[in-house]
A and B are shown apart, each in its own frame.
Chain A
């Protein structure tokens, strides 16, 4: 079986063809780099995405501070992660790189702040 994908690893967006036999990836073509190969394999077996959103800040200069997952999370866990993140409030001051949620949902990735808020 053949499956066509568009790589999302970078803005280039390579069209990739994956050949699957008995549920296993036997060939990947169309990618221009190694990341494309890895993306295609993951997309068939366990699709993942990096997650960016925001969390509420207490005493902040702004109402929310942006966060990202330190690594990709399974695609079907994105909304579960969102629920968890939206239940959290951090206290200003916040710095870039601060861990907001450690090992979210036991996925092995942290939720980290991507902007600073010096507070009021």
Chain B
């Protein structure tokens, strides 16, 4: 058994930021366990720029953003095991992992930070008719093929889903010589950033079809084409609108799911909307000493916010290890009227620091107000030019607001049109 103060599961931007913060706070023995060959996580394959505008004040590519944290980790005495798969976290915080060199390893931790990230929703989660030919994959898989393995997975491409990964891959495949025929989006709006629609689709004349989906794949060994169709308000395909498109590759960019198998096994309670753990403002789960941050907690659109969140978790873990973590009276936060969820789900009303509640809306709003309320009293109300499901928002709760609450209070955030 190896003894550590803090075991961090996952060496992406979340894991690294949490470990570094804990180190800064004085935690001595820290280990990061990473499944891939190197630290950096998904950023390693996100070679486009747009990372770091908030945190570093400059525009970096994914590997550059990760590189800055890898360099910082290497300067510390934080232990790193790469190529290492965590198999289990026990109730008593024994983390079991395996790799090729050491075989089975057990780490006894005082605190654990969950930073496993998320994975893409696969074809199996959609109901598309057709057999299982090669050429159908998630956009992230194609991104790894092209950007890490230097391998082009196809020549004629259809993309389902207009989230940012789908848009980025439309441009990437086009630059490498493929013909991207169309990007279909089930919803009447794109889930991606407007700038990505401009510079990834419009720049190359790639059509974006909203309220449209793939209903059938053709081909047995290799994909030969897909049938697309328009959908109605209930997102059901409209008969008579079917169209056949010849292609050898179908990329799916249809959502991300936090990877919480380890969390579930150790009995960490999950939020039904985020599919991530229920946490308090220190990012501690309902299991004392187990913290969560990054995409395993909630899917983020900007890595800068992952870093910010993970530093909170790293600080929380350090306080826990030193026995400094404040007890207190925890109340729930709740999203209503258009607010799908809030992280953190629990807030300590005895807290003495300003905190942010992060949330997402369920549809596009223009000129709507974000209203924060507690016990019938409006704490804040702010008008927003635009609110969209693809963009995470936040509201600030001050210690003065908390001071007025009691153990039966509930903080709600809602959208008022």
Cα A5 to Cα B195 in complex, Å, equals 10
| A25 lies within 8 A of chain B by Cβ | no
Cα A52 to Cα B193 in complex, Å, equals 18
Q: Mark A88-102, 1 if CB is under 8 A from B, else 0.
A: 000000001000000
By the criterion CB–CB under 8 Å, are B194 and A6 in contact?
yes
Which of A11, A13, A51 counts the most chain B CB atoms within 10 A? A11
| B153 lies within 8 A of chain A by Cβ | no
Cα A63 to Cα B302 in complex, Å, equals 28
| A64 lies within 8 A of chain B by Cβ | yes
- Tell me how many residues of B have a C-beta within 8 Å of chain A: 31
CB proximity of B63 to chain A, nearest CB, Å: 4
By the criterion CB–CB under 8 Å, are A64 and B147 in contact?
yes
CB proximity of B149 to chain A, nearest CB, Å: 5
By the criterion CB–CB under 8 Å, are B175 and A53 in contact?
yes
| Segment of B24-32, B43-51, B263-271 in the binding face | B43-51
Q: Mark A1-27, 1 if CB is under 8 A from B, else 0.
A: 000011111111100000000000000
Which residues does chain B contribute within 8 Å of A52, judged by CB atoms? Answer: 47-49, 61
* A54 and B47 in contact, given A63-B150, A96-B67, A115-B63 (Cβ under 8 angstroms): yes
Interface size class of A (residues with CB under 8 A): 20 to 34
Which of A7, A52, A78, A79 counts the most chain B CB atoms within 10 A? A52
By the criterion CB–CB under 8 Å, are B175 and A82 in contact?
yes
By the criterion CB–CB under 8 Å, are B47 and A62 in contact?
no
Q: Is the interface of B mostly helix, strand, loop or mixed?
A: mixed
| A59 lies within 8 A of chain B by Cβ | no
CB proximity of B359 to chain A, nearest CB, Å: 18
By the criterion CB–CB under 8 Å, are B48 and A116 in contact?
no
CB proximity of B150 to chain A, nearest CB, Å: 3
By the criterion CB–CB under 8 Å, are A13 and B148 in contact?
no
Task: Among A8, A54, A62, A114, point to the contact of B195 (Cβ < 8 A).
Answer: A8
Cα A6 to Cα B196 in complex, Å, equals 10
| B176 lies within 8 A of chain A by Cβ | yes
Which residues does chain A contribute within 8 Å of B100, judged by CB atoms? Answer: none
Which of A5, A54, A75 counts the most chain B CB atoms within 10 A? A54
Cα A42 to Cα B301 in complex, Å, equals 28
By the criterion CB–CB under 8 Å, are B47 and A66 in contact?
yes
| A68 lies within 8 A of chain B by Cβ | yes
| B203 lies within 8 A of chain A by Cβ | yes
Residue ID in chain A nearest B199 by CB atoms: A8
Cα A116 to Cα B44 in complex, Å, equals 10
CB<8 Å pairs between A and B, sample of 24: A5-B198, A7-B195, A9-B195, A10-B59, A11-B193, A11-B195, A13-B195, A52-B49, A52-B61, A53-B175, A53-B176, A54-B47, A56-B150, A62-B149, A64-B149, A66-B61, A68-B49, A75-B203, A78-B175, A82-B175, A96-B64, A114-B64, A115-B47, A116-B67
* Chain A contact residues, CB within 8 Å of chain B: 5-13, 49-54, 56, 61-64, 66, 68, 75, 78-79, 82, 86, 96, 114-116
Known: A50-B49, A52-B49. 11 other contacts (CB 8 A): A7-B195, A11-B50, A13-B198, A51-B175, A53-B175, A62-B149, A63-B150, A66-B63, A78-B175, A82-B176, A115-B67
